[in-house]
Amino acid sequence: MFSHFTPASWRVVRAAEQESRNHNDYFIGAEHLLAALLEERDPAVLSALGASGIDLHEVYAEVRRCLGNAGERLWEGILVTPRVRTIVTLAEQAAAGREVTPLDLFNALRAEGGSTAAQVLRRLATRNTAPAAE
């Protein structure tokens, strides 16, 4: 599933897996993926955030709230949700034969659009780019 990923994209996936473990979740969801993308601070992802008018610290805090507090569950393994599989497929399609970069993952997460993580990005982009009321 991740065979065409750059080393940076692999780090994002590993960080998302760790986010999942930190929250005692048994899956990697879009919110884990977004938190990992933000933690890795890839320059292209940071640039895309800035171009959308989204503050890194604000989106990070919001996605942390969405992830909530860790429960008391213990799981044997980590699964990848169907939504994250869709995001990976979209990223691979965007890469068009080259290795998938963190920016490909970020753009695919936004393009998929149905996750809480995508909704957070959309809400913050809209709020931060809306004209100020006079």
The predicted-structure confidence for 66-89, as pLDDT tens digits, reads as follows 877 655 555 566 677 788 888 888
Domain ranges of the chain: 7-129
* Structure-block tokens of residue 24: 């005692």
Alpha-carbon gap, residue 20 to 86, rounded angstroms? 18
**Cross-strand partners of 2:** none
Q: Which amino acid is at 38?
A: L
Name the architecture of domain 7-129.
Answer: Orthogonal Bundle (1.10)
pTM attached to this predicted model: 0.73
Whole-number percent of the chain with pLDDT over 90: 4
**Cross-strand partners of 27:** 79
**Cross-strand partners of 5:** 100
